[in-house]
Amino acid sequence: MEYNKRVEGGLSLNAKEDIARVVIRDALERYKRPFVVWSAGKDSMVVLHLIKSYVEKNNMEMPPALFIDHGQHYDETLELIEKISREWNFKVIYARNEDALNKVKDGKIYVKDLDEENQREVRKIGFLEDYFEYSLDTDVGNHVLKTVAMNNAIKRYRIDALFTGIRWDENPARSWEVFISPREEPPHVRVHPILPFTERNVWEYTFKYNLPVHPLYKQGYRSIDGKYDSKKTSDKPAWEQDLEHTYERAGRSQDKEGMMEKLRRFGYM
């Protein structure tokens, strides 16, 4: 997949960190119940660390993290979530679409088995078949297992501001995102402190502050999510690969990457 990345190449990492801090301060001052979407991946790790530094400096409570549990995480991911949240002392809420996860039969999810709300969600995104694969590769799987789980958590915990680690240079659908972006269904704002960070900046920040690194990055994965939809892009550690001239999410399902625009319309990050 080819596209022109939106790259903020002029600003130094220090300046981008300052921007992130301003965004974080603004959101934490204005919203009552902020959460941080956290996957233990490199981007959300940076966001979490920026927030942690800010709240520690200002003697505030660390907002809880929201971990989207689609049931296909690597063991390493779950271990890291557990370890870091314990060491850094903050709460993690596991957002799961229990109904959908309970209805998986031989790797498939039949729409008629789902509860009313999930059926509505499946139809909402225009899926008309009887069943879909238990996978994050398709728009319907991604929507039901990730977006619906996340939206339910937003409603359940009355979250008014949700921090995420999306960046301009990742995908064209994310390249025009703004720092604080209101959403309607359910009503809340998305807060995006590291939009101008490039993939390179994320690694620079990670090593500058000695952040924990998911072991799979070292094995050559550049973007990590589900066990079955993430693939290695090389045998070299992620930070040693040609970040500027190759596509970061090449290891992710390309169907889904192409559908990003649509997924985001229904609430995806």
Nearer to other proteins, 28 or 194 (CB): 28
CB of 158 to other proteins, least distance (A): 7
Among residues 88 and 157, whose Cβ is nearest to other proteins? 157
Q: Is 226 in the site for other proteins (CB under 8 A)?
A: no
The residue (of 65 and 243) whose beta carbon lies closer to other proteins is: 65
Residue ranges of E strands in 78-187: 92-95, 104-105, 108-110, 131-133, 161-163, 180-183
Rounded to whole angstroms, the Cα distance separating 117 from 133 reads 19
- Residues within window 30-69 making contact with other proteins, judged by CB under 8 A: 31-34, 60-61, 63-64
User: Nearest approach, Cβ of 248 to other proteins (angstroms)?
Assistant: 33
Contact 181, 192 (CB under 8 A): yes
Asked whether position 184 contacts other proteins by CB under 8 A, the answer is no
Using CB under 8 A as the binding rule, whether residue 129 contacts other proteins is answered as: no
Handedness of CA 51, 248, 126, 141 (dihedral sign): negative
Asked whether the beta carbons of 235 and 221 are under 8 A apart, the reply is no
Where does residue 191 rank: exposed (0-12), middle (13-18), buried (19+ CB within 10 A)? buried
CB of 157 to other proteins, least distance (A): 6
Q: Does 28 bind other proteins (CB under 8 A)?
A: yes
When asked if residue 267 is in the footprint of other proteins (CB under 8 A), the reply is no
Side chain identity, residue 61: E
Site string for other proteins, 151-180 (x = CB under 8 A): -----xxx-x--------------------
CB 197 → other proteins: shortest distance, Å?
A: 25
31/247 with CB nearer other proteins: 31
List the one residue from 91, 105, 218, 265 that touches other proteins (CB under 8 A).
Answer: 91
Nearer to other proteins, 24 or 213 (CB): 24
In the sheet that holds 34-37, the strands lie side by side as: 92-95, 65-68, 34-37, 161-163, 188-191, 180-183
Residues 6+ apart with CB under 8 A from 208: 13
Distance CA 82, CA 26 (A): 29
Whether the bond into 186 is cis, omega within 30 of 0? yes
- 63 or 267, CB closer to other proteins? 63
Minimum distance from CB of 59 to other proteins (Å)?
11
Instruction: Pick between residue 28 and residue 144 the one whose CB is nearest to other proteins.
Output: 28
Q: How many binding residues for other proteins (CB under 8 A)?
A: 16
Which of 146, 94, 138, 96 is CA-nearest to residue 269?
146
E runs forming strands in 81-207: 92-95, 104-105, 108-110, 131-133, 161-163, 180-183, 188-191
Which positions touch other proteins (CB under 8 A)? 28, 31-34, 60-61, 63-64, 91, 93, 116, 156-158, 160
